[in-house]
């Protein structure tokens, strides 16, 4: 197969990997009844006049099955961190004891679990749409190489099959991510 096609398929595969990584990050941000430090990754706050990510100001650890502990590096920032968590979309009230902040995650009810499954399903579907769009763009690129005479019809046919194989593998990965997150959500 042509070197140009190999490069195009390789580039698309890398872009697809980035789309899957994005999907994984989005899925970890969906709250389950189990705490995860990744839930706090998107929280930002104003610290000495600069917007800073919470993970730059504190460390997180899971102390038990339902509690996430936030330990600030600078104890004077405790109030700011508390306020940022309270104002976030987590829906959890932080417990501030003057040294650390404890976030207690209540168990999810059945209705909320089903809503969250719909949310993760949409996240995964968006990732699949991105994968299909990348495949379409790659096909157009490869077809333009064939029209320009840079590759043969056989190379075009082989590259499309290879592209379909790559997309099938990546889509399967997204399906596995969805299944794992759904299982985690539906766990009681």
CATH number at residue 95: 3.30.1360.40
Q: Same domain, yes or no, for 114 and 178?
A: yes
Structural domain tally of the chain?
A: 2
The domain containing residue 51 runs over which residues? 37-104
Q: Same domain, yes or no, for 22 and 65?
A: no
Cα 170 to Cα 54, 88, 140, 158, distances in angstroms: 32, 32, 19, 19
pLDDT of residue 121: 93
Asked which of 80, 104, 128 is the last residue of a domain, the reply is 104
Burial zone of 103 (CB within 10 Å; 0-12 exposed, 13-18 middle, 19+ buried): buried
Residue of 107, 34, 96, 43 lying closest to 70 (CA atoms): 96
Q: What is the pLDDT of residues 36-84, one digit of tens each?
A: 777 787 888 888 888 888 888 888 888 887 888 999 998 888 888 888 8
Asked which of 89, 104, 119 is the last residue of a domain, the reply is 104
142: domain CATH number? 1.10.132.20
Per-residue pLDDT of the chain (188 residues; tens, 9 = 90+): 467 777 878 888 899 999 999 999 888 877 666 677 777 878 888 888 888 888 888 888 888 878 889 999 988 888 888 888 888 877 788 888 888 999 888 777 888 788 888 989 999 999 999 999 999 998 998 888 888 888 888 888 888 888 899 999 999 999 999 999 998 888 76
Q: What is the pTM of this model?
A: 0.70
Q: Same domain, yes or no, for 82 and 46?
A: yes
Q: Same domain, yes or no, for 115 and 55?
A: no
Q: Same domain, yes or no, for 77 and 145?
A: no
Q: Same domain, yes or no, for 61 and 98?
A: yes
Q: Same domain, yes or no, for 121 and 175?
A: yes
Asked which of 104, 119, 134 is the last residue of a domain, the reply is 104
pLDDT of residue 63: 83
Collect all residues with Cβ–Cβ distance below 8 Å to 19 and sequence separation of at least 6: 127, 130, 131, 134, 170
Q: Same domain, yes or no, for 67 and 157?
A: no
How many CA atoms are closer than 13 Å to the CA of 102, on its beta-carbon side? 11
């Amino acid at each position: 197969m042509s070197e140009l096609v190999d490069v195009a398929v390789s580039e698309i595969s890398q872009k697809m990997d980035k789309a899957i990584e994005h999907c994984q990050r989005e899925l970890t941000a969906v709250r389950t009844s189990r705490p995860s430090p990744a839930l706090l990754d998107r929280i930002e706050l104003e610290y000495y006049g600069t917007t800073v990510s919470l993970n730059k100001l504190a460390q997180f650890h899971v102390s038990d099955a339902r509690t996430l502990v936030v330990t600030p590096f600078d104890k004077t920032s405790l109030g700011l961190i508390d306020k940022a968590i309270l104002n976030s979309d987590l829906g959890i009230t932080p417990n501030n004891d003057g040294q650390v902040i404890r976030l207690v995650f209540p168990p999810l009810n059945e209705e909320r679990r089903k809503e969250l499954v719909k949310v993760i399903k949409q996240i995964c579907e968006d990732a699949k749409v991105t994968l299909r769009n990348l495949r379409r763009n790659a096909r157009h690129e490869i077809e333009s190489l064939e029209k320009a005479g840079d590759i043969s019809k056989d190379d075009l046919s082989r590259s499309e099959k290879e592209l379909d194989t790559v997309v099938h593998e990546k889509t399967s990965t997204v399906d596995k991510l969805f299944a794992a997150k759904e299982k985690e959500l539906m766990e009681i």
